[in-house]
Structure 1
Amino acid sequence: MEQEHRGSMCYRERNGVGYLTFPAFDRVHFVRHAFSTRVGGVSPAPFNTMNLSRGRGDSDAHVNRNLHLLCDAVGVDYCSLVSSAQDHHTQIRRVGRRECGLGVRFPADRQSVDGLITDEPGVTLLTHYADCTPLFFLDRKKRAIGLAHAGWRGTAAQIGAITVQSMQKEFSSDPADILVGIGPSIGPCCFEVDRDVAEAFMALWTFEPNAFVKAGRPGKYQVDLWEANRRILLGAGILAQHITVGGLCSCCNHSWLWSHRATKGVRGGMAALMQLLPE
């Protein structure tokens, strides 16, 4: 298996399928995780080649085959997947074995789920991306995991903190024990927004928004979703040394990562996977 560092993440290829991992998570023996790339699937142009998004014009047969290929590369069972049902809100759902297959092999049974958490081994959490920010959570002491989809609305609504609070409630997690990875998304270099979006972030005054909102061209602003999420996570009790910022801009790297903005919406999508291994 090939491996190299890209940003603060490791790029790996297995059987021709490329994916990214966080070194801090790789060192924990009882978890598997990955963030997909465009490398190694079967989808034709303009979805070439690893597309994991349904409903964008690619066939479901291609998406299912790509999911199988990614699962085989990462070492998780396709039948263990349970998918989010994302709509840019902040609902976090606890799932277990009885939810496996939802949103993948079976229709979703619930709408508006932008985050998933579990403490059951063998359950693979699945969330979807094409510029929004993936947040990975790992409580090493309670052996619990989470994935959250932090678009700009979710970030401004502090979905990262809400996920931490959900893990505290469901698993009695101590935020000081949780590792967090902030994965590839549109970076501060490319995330230009109008005033209304900038104002949603400027309202996060307790997090010193001048650190992640900068004036750009006339009437435009640059927003740093990575730094905004990092500060929100710190405010939720996550230790600074337990947060890894991947530092990979999906828009700058759209030749091998999917970016909604770079492709003007003609695109496939990526996914984050995470599973606790059976003891």
Structure 2
Amino acid sequence: MEPFVLKNQSFFTIENWIKQFTGLSAGMTTKHGGASRGDYETLNLGFHVGDELSAVCTNRSKVSDLVEFPLNTWVGAEQTHGIHLKKITKADRGKGSHSYENSIKDTDGFYTNEEGILLSLCFADCVPLFFIAPESRMIGIAHAGWKGTVGQIAKEMIIAWGREGIDPQQILVAIGPSICEKCYIVDKHVINMVENTLEDVEILPYNLINDGQYSLDLRDVNRRIIMKSGVPESNILMTRFCSSCDEEFFSHRRDQGRTGRMLSFIGWKETTKRL
């Protein structure tokens, strides 16, 4: 069953997590229902893509109301397609929520076990990875393009949580809307890195389609990395939505680089009672 459920025109939620874990907010926005125009029509949430600042701020305020998380509790990043993670505390709230300049630098993943913080990252084809360890109330989110994927940012998150005393068997993961294997064509350079990352794999997550061109299932690469890191396959949810095929989303590839960004988010609301 598809884990990402459309709540209204503007965002999806990870529905069974929301039902299971009281006070959790987790999901991803669409491209619809905002104030942006032109290439960014209409719900662009990225500050760094050339859209008007006032439109992005209006869009963020709307999403804040929809997910019931005040903007001053959001945390955002200057994403660099790396594997650097940061543990977030309430002292970080508001960084990157109203402007790109004060976002947390050189970071592609956040995690926290504190309430009243909305972890947020921007996407337009790359793979959003959502993490939760309910027993310890740890939550996290990571941005996995091909560089972050072969750099194993998913494994880095699981290792970081291990330092917090969390066993991989306790971790649940959701792999969100992103570009599918049919739409994601890469060269041999990328495939070589994937092969180095996934050693001793019988069924490879790519296919040769033309001389030097391969279709790559980036979501499946992340799934395998997560499983290899000790998370049971039964703990992993994976979407079937494609950011390029499906018109609900912005797509960097489909739109030839001139497009907006969706926001993936996860947070415990401050009114949450302990389970």
TM-score of the superposed pair, with normalisation by structure 1? 0.92
Distance 1:110 1:256 in 2: 28
Residue 30 (structure 1) shift = 2.9
**Does the residue aligned with 1:49 lie in a helix, a strand or coil?**
coil
Instruction: Sort the Cα spacing of 1:132 and 1:234 in 2 relative to 1 into closer, same or farther, 3 A.
Output: same
Residue 32 of structure 1 contacts residue 74 of structure 1 at CA under 8 Å; is this kept in 2? yes
Residue 96 (structure 1) shift = 0.9
- Which of the residues 251, 259, 262 maps onto 1:259? 251
Residue 209 (structure 1) shift = 7.1
Residue 95 of structure 2 contacts residue 104 of structure 2 at CA under 8 Å; is this kept in 1? no
Distance 1:209 1:43 in 2: 46
Deviation string, structure 1 residues 161-194 (Cα, Å, up to 9, x no partner)? 101111221x321211111100011111111101
- Which of the residues 73, 76, 94 maps onto 1:80? 73
Residue 201 of structure 1 contacts residue 209 of structure 1 at CA under 8 Å; is this kept in 2? no
Written as runs of structure 1 = structure 2, the 5 A alignment for 1:40-119 is: 40-105=33-98, 107-108=101-102, 110-119=104-113
Distance 1:209 1:112 in 2: 35
Deviation string, structure 1 residues 178-235 (Cα, Å, up to 9, x no partner)? 1110001111111110111111101124361742122111210111011100000001
Distance 1:84 1:57 in 2: 17
The one-letter amino acid paired with 1:266 is: R
Q: Which has the higher mean CA deviation after the structures are superposed, 29-38 or 204-213?
A: 204-213
In the alignment, what sits opposite 1:10?
A: 5
- Which of the residues 14, 22, 27 maps onto 2:14? 22
Residue 96 of structure 2 contacts residue 104 of structure 2 at CA under 8 Å; is this kept in 1? no
Residue 109 (structure 1) shift = 6.2
Q: Percent identity?
A: 29
Q: Which runs of 5+ in 1 are unaligned?
A: none
Residue 202 of structure 1 contacts residue 209 of structure 1 at CA under 8 Å; is this kept in 2? no
**Does the residue aligned with 2:210 lie in a helix, a strand or coil?**
coil
**Does the residue aligned with 2:266 lie in a helix, a strand or coil?**
strand
Residue 97 of structure 2 contacts residue 103 of structure 2 at CA under 8 Å; is this kept in 1? no
Residue 31 (structure 1) shift = 1.1
Residue 43 (structure 1) shift = 0.7
TM-score of the superposed pair, with normalisation by structure 2? 0.93
Distance 2:220 2:89 in 1: 31
Deviation string, structure 1 residues 77-105 (Cα, Å, up to 9, x no partner)? 11100112210110000011110111223
Distance 1:139 1:226 in 2: 21
Residue 28 of structure 2 contacts residue 264 of structure 2 at CA under 8 Å; is this kept in 1? yes
Residue 34 of structure 1 contacts residue 74 of structure 1 at CA under 8 Å; is this kept in 2? no
- Which of the residues 164, 167, 176 maps onto 2:161? 167
Instruction: Sort the Cα spacing of 1:247 and 1:80 in 2 relative to 1 into closer, same or farther, 3 A.
Output: same
CA RMSD, 1 decimal: 1.5
Residue 20 of structure 1 contacts residue 34 of structure 1 at CA under 8 Å; is this kept in 2? yes
The one-letter amino acid paired with 1:141 is: E
Distance 1:66 1:24 in 2: 26
1:34 correspondence with 2:36: no
**Does the residue aligned with 2:38 lie in a helix, a strand or coil?**
coil
In the alignment, what sits opposite 2:204?
A: 211
The count of aligned residue pairs is 269
Q: Which runs of 5+ in 2 are unaligned?
A: none
Residue 209 of structure 1 contacts residue 228 of structure 1 at CA under 8 Å; is this kept in 2? no
In the alignment, what sits opposite 1:269?
A: 261
- Which of the residues 185, 193, 196 maps onto 1:192? 185
The one-letter amino acid paired with 2:61 is: H
